[in-house]
Amino acid sequence: MAFKVFLDTNIFLDHFLQRNEYSSKILSLCEAGEIRGCASSASFYTIAYLLGKSLSKKEARNILSLYTNFIIIVPTIKENLIQAFSSNFSDLEDAFLYFTALHNTSMEYFLTNNIKDFKSAIPSLLVVTPEEFLSHQYLK
């Protein structure tokens, strides 16, 4: 069975902007079905907004549509927001995503390229970079 990982918004942006080869590898593994990638529906709002600044609406829609073919979209619910508000996370958006992932109890890893903002993460959901995930052989 493939690992189920939650993807931070920056994984998609780093892939699209070609800023991080490991993010691209993670998304390729998701597309191939070797890992089960999940993301918050809220991430897609952010990605759509940012892609819309540099692409046509049609191009942005096509890219987002492609991701939904192989990414499991999970909702951010009110409880996740409340947990985030009372957490020690310095970045509220990161807290929203982390508690969304934590609420989905079958999630095994939270992948982000911004580890420093996850110091308040609960040990039950390991936060790692795509490079760490791939280099530590989590896939074996």
> What per-residue confidence (pLDDT) applies to 1?
61
Question: Which residues of the chain fall short of a pLDDT of 70?
Answer: 1, 105, 137-140
- Please answer whether residues 80 and 100 qualify as being in contact, where contact means their C-beta atoms are separated by less than 8 angstroms: yes
Domain 4-135: CATH superfamily is 5'-nuclease (3.40.50.1010)
> What per-residue confidence (pLDDT) applies to 96?
95
> What per-residue confidence (pLDDT) applies to 11?
97
> What per-residue confidence (pLDDT) applies to 71?
96
> What per-residue confidence (pLDDT) applies to 73?
94
Could you give the angle at the alpha carbon of 41 between the alpha carbons of 28 and 101, nearest 5°?
80
> What per-residue confidence (pLDDT) applies to 2?
80
> What per-residue confidence (pLDDT) applies to 137?
59
